[in-house]
Amino acid sequence: MIGPIRWSQKDASTAGCSGDRFHGLLGALTVALGVTGIPAADAVAQLSSELRTYDAPRAASPPAIDGSLDDPAWRAAPWTEPFIDIRGTEWPEPAWETRAKIAWDHNHLYIAAEMEEPHLWATLADRDAILYREHDFEVFIDPDGDALDYYELEINALGTEFDLFLPRPYNRKGKANVGWDMVGLRTAVALDGTLNNPSDEDRGWTVEIAIPWSALRPPAEGAASDDPRETDRYATVAGGRHRAGSGPRVGDEWRINFSRVQWPVEVVQGGYRRAKEPSGEDRHPEHNWVWSPQGEINMHSPEKWGIVRFREEVGNSGNESPVDADGDPSGPDTRSSWSASR
Radius of gyration of the chain (CA): 19
| CA neighbor of 7 nearest in space, from 281, 256, 269 | 281
* The pLDDT value given to residue 317: 33
108 vs 182: CA distance, rounded Å = 12
301 vs 303: CA distance, rounded Å = 6
Q: Please name the helix (run of DSSP H) or strand (run of DSSP E) that holds residue 75, with its range, or none.
A: helix 72-76
Q: First and final CA of the chain: distance in angstroms?
A: 37
Number of H helices, E strands in the chain: 3, 15
300 vs 169: CA distance, rounded Å = 6
CB 303 within 8 A of CB 235: no
CB 69 within 8 A of CB 112: yes
- Within a 10 A sphere around the Cβ of 269, how many other Cβ atoms? 5
Asked whether residue 225 carries a pLDDT value surpassing 80, the answer given is no
305 vs 52: CA distance, rounded Å = 8
- pLDDT tens-digit series, residues 10-55: 333 333 333 333 333 334 333 333 333 444 344 444 556 689 999 9
Alpha-carbon dihedral angle through residues 202, 95, 51, 16, given to the nearest 10 degrees? 70
- pLDDT tens-digit series, residues 99-139: 999 999 999 999 999 999 999 999 999 999 999 999 999 99
Most distant CA pair in the chain, distance:
60
Strands 265-268 and 253-262, bridge-based pairing: unpaired
Q: Angle 271-276-279 (CA atoms, 0-180°, nearest 5)?
A: 145
**Which residues does 34 contact at the CB level (< 8 Å), separation at least 6?**
none
* The pLDDT value given to residue 232: 59
Q: Please name the helix (run of DSSP H) or strand (run of DSSP E) that holds residue 72, with its range, or none.
A: helix 72-76
Distances (CA, A) of 27 to 33, 259, 294, 334: 10, 18, 10, 43
CB 233 within 8 A of CB 291: no
Q: Going from the N-terminus, what domains does the chain have, and what CATH number goes with each?
A: 9-224+250-341 (2.60.40.1190)
Region 210-227: mean pLDDT is 90
Q: What is the DSSP letter of 296?
A: S
Judged by DSSP in three states, 10 sits in helix
Least confident range of 179-188, 206-215, 245-254, 309-318 = 309-318
Strand locations in 61-203 (E): 84-85, 98-104, 108-116, 136-142, 150-155, 161-166, 186-192
- pLDDT tens-digit series, residues 143-197: 999 999 999 999 999 999 999 999 999 999 899 999 999 999 999 999 999 999 9
Q: Which amino acid, residue 268? A: V
283 vs 272: CA distance, rounded Å = 21
Total number of residues shown for the chain: 342
Least confident range of 5-19, 89-103, 259-273 = 5-19
CB 288 within 8 A of CB 10: no
243 vs 324: CA distance, rounded Å = 10
235 vs 314: CA distance, rounded Å = 28
* The pLDDT value given to residue 313: 72
